[in-house]
């Protein structure tokens, strides 16, 4: 099986004539788009239809170019050609800011947009898209200012984010007398040997000292740019901007976080029970958060992972099982860690080609198989959106993690149900609780940290030591007595790239949303069986054309009701009780 993905469906390389042709096409489309924005006379319906068609052509062309460069850089942060290509395309894209502002104001100025849309097939298909643009108008500045902001973001937040990505993917890590990379040493957190886990953690923490200052400057610069942008646009806070971008109500977030706060002590019980199993009396040290327990499953090859996942999801939905097989067979996945490759895992949609590309740092543990299931869930979500216009695939952050986490739950619950040995079952339940703790407790700590960074940034620059203090404070509040207070992870703010996106703040609580929302959907699947699957696909398809609350209504769920979130958390609380009982 392949170790690396193939990007040939996009381009065979930068010398591929198609790449140069698409760059030239992009220039032509931008020129046409800009000229059109200066003359919007005529029938509004015809203006909107022409705009939609132009936007579609632009997005398809630009997306392929940027995806190719971005995917190449994700596996080689020192790729000069890709960095240059990304810079050129970003510069071209910045020229769209002014014209798009003109279109936004035009759409917002239409007195009765429903009457203009009428029964026109193209306009009805893009109704949510058009109305979202009209809603954005109150946060949009003049075309000239928008263009300047877009240009300066390339050398502002975007550049600082690139710096952080470069630092974390290239920092040398000294481990056991040799030099390795951050992704590889972080994978050792899952090693069965406690000495390996501890030494790897110490090596990881030590290496951050090399890059903490550069990362601190990156984080401070990005967050201040976001704060200033929000002020200019009229958002009350970066969190309000994120909720607006997410098409989600504040009441939904309050219900989610309120329910999480109620259930945190239950997770502390799990963490202390695991700590006792591993011989710790003062809570779990951070380096043992991911420690596998006795009875844990052995190692997996990528072939094993494919066989397991294809077989498992064939019992849920043949269409998804076939997609998973394609991902393995057609080289959609770049599996292994190496120098220059970023940490973590992700899934990139290639909408025009009805495919996805998945990057992982596969280490052969069960958790790596579950990570593959997670990313393949994203790929299935992309597949469910395949018939949508490219303008109707912009899924907001909260629901973006729904299918991925649903896949995790399916995979882990199947493994637990099939296990008869109580020690092995305990290990599997713990593995699921381990993931759930990351999605609920650790994500809550990351939310608290990012909020504290925004709260403190205006009053002054936060050096690395101060950021470490804020991170430890957040971990203490979220993990409580579950973690050993003398062994936290003060550099988690360096480790997690989600903090370093200038256009996307608070990329943390959406994971908690997805984790708990998906468990609510899984409960409906257990209740309804096969009848649920078409409803599930309909919900995923709807995520590109409605609000977060609107998508949930497809399944009859009210997200502003704290009881929905409590019910999902109670499922995890019951698992914690079962785990503690098996620990006796």
Asked if 559 and 252 count as a contact pair (C-beta separation under 8 A), the reply is yes
Judged on CB neighbours under 10 Å (0-12, 13-18, 19+), 573 is middle
With CA atoms as reference, report the closest residue to 166 among 476, 472, 497. Answer: 497
The separation between the first and the last C-alpha atoms of the chain, rounded to the nearest angstrom, is 43
Is residue 387 assigned to a domain? no
Number of folded domains in the chain? 1
Sorted by sequence, the CB contacts under 8 Å of residue 96 that are 6+ apart come out as 30, 33, 34, 58, 150
Is residue 24 situated within a structural domain? Answer: yes
**What is the C-alpha separation between 293 and 291, in angstroms, rounded?**
6
Cβ-contact 94, 154 below 8 angstroms:
yes
CA of 197: how far to CAs of 172, 362, 442, 452, in Å?
18, 17, 19, 30
Residue 321 φ/ψ, nearest 5 degrees: -60, -40
- CA 465 from chain centre, in angstroms, equals 27
> Which residue is it, tokens 């022409």?
50
Burial class (CB in 10 A: 0-12, 13-18, 19+), 418: exposed
Residue 525 resides in a domain? no
124 domain residue, yes or no: yes
The answer to whether the CB of 38 falls within 8 A of the CB of 102 is: yes
**Residue 235 domain flag:** no
**pLDDT tens per residue, the chain (584 residues)?**
889 999 999 999 999 999 999 999 999 999 999 999 999 999 999 999 999 999 999 999 999 999 999 999 999 989 999 999 999 999 999 999 999 999 999 999 999 999 999 999 999 999 999 999 999 999 998 888 988 998 999 899 999 999 999 999 999 999 999 999 998 999 999 999 999 999 999 999 999 999 999 999 999 999 999 999 999 999 999 999 999 999 999 999 999 999 999 999 999 999 999 999 999 999 999 999 999 998 876 789 999 999 999 999 999 999 999 999 999 999 999 999 988 888 789 999 999 999 999 999 999 988 899 999 999 999 999 999 999 999 999 998 899 989 999 999 999 888 888 888 899 899 989 989 998 999 999 999 999 999 999 999 999 999 999 999 999 999 999 999 999 999 999 999 999 999 999 999 999 999 999 999 999 999 889 889 999 999 999 999 999 999 999 999 998 899 999 999 999 999 999 999 999 999 98
- Residue 58 within any structural domain of the chain: yes
Nearest to 511 by CA among 410, 408, 422, 439: 439
Question: Which CATH number does the domain housing residue 90 bear?
Answer: 1.20.140.70
Domain residues for 102?
Answer: 17-155
Residue identified by tokens 């309120």 is: 258
Q: How far apart are CA 325 and CA 343, in angstroms?
A: 24
Cβ atoms < 10 Å from Cβ of 479: 25
* pTM to 2 decimal places: 0.84
Two tokens, residue 241: 């901007």
Question: Taking a C-beta distance cutoff of 8 angstroms, is the pair 312, 411 a contact?
Answer: yes
35 is a domain residue: yes
Residue 115 is assigned to a structural domain of this protein: yes
Phi, psi of 139 (to 5 degrees): -110, 15
CA-CA distance, 132 to 107, in Å (whole number)?
10
């Amino acid at each position: 099986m392949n170790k690396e993905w193939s990007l040939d469906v996009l381009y065979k390389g930068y010398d591929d004539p198609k790449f140069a042709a698409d760059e030239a096409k992009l220039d032509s489309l931008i020129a046409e788009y800009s000229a059109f924005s200066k003359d919007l006379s005529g029938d509004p319906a015809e203006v909107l239809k022409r705009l939609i068609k132009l936007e579609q052509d632009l997005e398809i062309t630009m997306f392929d170019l940027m995806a190719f460069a971005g995917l190449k850089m994700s596996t080689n942060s020192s790729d000069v050609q890709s960095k240059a290509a990304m810079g050129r395309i970003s510069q071209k894209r910045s020229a769209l800011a002014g014209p798009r502002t003109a279109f936004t104001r035009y759409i917002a100025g239409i007195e009765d947009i429903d009457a203009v849309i009428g029964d026109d097939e193209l306009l009805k298909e893009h109704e949510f898209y058009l109305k979202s643009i009209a809603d954005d108008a109150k946060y949009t500045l003049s075309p000239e200012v928008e263009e300047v902001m877009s240009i300066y973001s390339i050398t502002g937040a975007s550049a600082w984010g690139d710096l952080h990505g470069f630092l974390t993917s290239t920092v040398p890590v000294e481990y056991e007398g040799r030099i390795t990379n951050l992704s590889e040493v972080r994978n050792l957190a899952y090693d069965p040997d406690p000495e390996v886990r501890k030494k790897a953690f110490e090596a990881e923490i030590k290496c951050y000292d090399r890059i903490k200052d550069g990362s601190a400057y990156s984080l401070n610069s990005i967050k201040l740019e976001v704060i200033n942008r929000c002020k200019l646009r009229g958002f009350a806070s970066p969190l309000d901007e994120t909720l607006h971008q997410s098409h989600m109500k504040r009441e939904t977030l309050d219900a989610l976080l309120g329910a999480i706060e109620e259930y945190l002590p239950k997770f502390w019980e799990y963490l202390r029970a695991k700590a006792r199993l591993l011989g710790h009396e003062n809570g779990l040290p951070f380096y043992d958060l991911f420690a596998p327990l006795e009875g844990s499953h052995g190692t997996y090859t990528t072939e094993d992972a494919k066989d397991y996942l294809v077989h498992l999801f064939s019992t849920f939905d043949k269409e998804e099982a076939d997609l998973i097989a394609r991902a393995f067979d057609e080289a959609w996945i770049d599996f292994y860690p190496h120098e220059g490759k970023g940490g973590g895992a992700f899934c990139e949609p290639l909408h025009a080609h009805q495919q996805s590309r998945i990057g992982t740092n596969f280490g052969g543990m069960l958790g790596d198989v579950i990570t593959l299931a997670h990313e393949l869930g994203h790929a299935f979500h992309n597949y469910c959106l395949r018939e949508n216009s490219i303008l109707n695939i912009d899924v907001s952050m909260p629901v973006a993690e729904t299918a991925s986490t649903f896949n995790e739950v399916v995979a882990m619950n199947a493994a637990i149900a099939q296990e008869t040995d109580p020690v092995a079952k305990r290990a599997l339940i713990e593995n699921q609780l381990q993931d759930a703790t990351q999605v609920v407790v650790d994500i809550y700590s990351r939310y608290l940290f990012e909020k504290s960074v925004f709260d403190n940034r205006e009053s002054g620059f936060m050096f690395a030591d101060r950021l470490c203090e804020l991170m430890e404070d957040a971990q203490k509040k979220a993990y409580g007595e579950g973690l050993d207070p003398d062994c936290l992870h003060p550099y988690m703010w360096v480790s997690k790239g989600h903090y370093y996106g200038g256009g996307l703040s608070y990329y943390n609580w959406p994971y908690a949303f997805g984790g708990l929302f998906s468990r609510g959907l899984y409960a409906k699947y257990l209740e309804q069986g096969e009848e649920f699957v078409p409803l599930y696909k309909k919900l995923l398809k709807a995520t590109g054309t409605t609000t977060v609350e609107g998508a949930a209504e497809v399944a009859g769920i009210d997200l502003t009701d704290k009881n929905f979130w409590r019910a999902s958390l109670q499922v995890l609380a019951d698992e914690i009780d079962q785990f503690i009982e098996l620990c006796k």
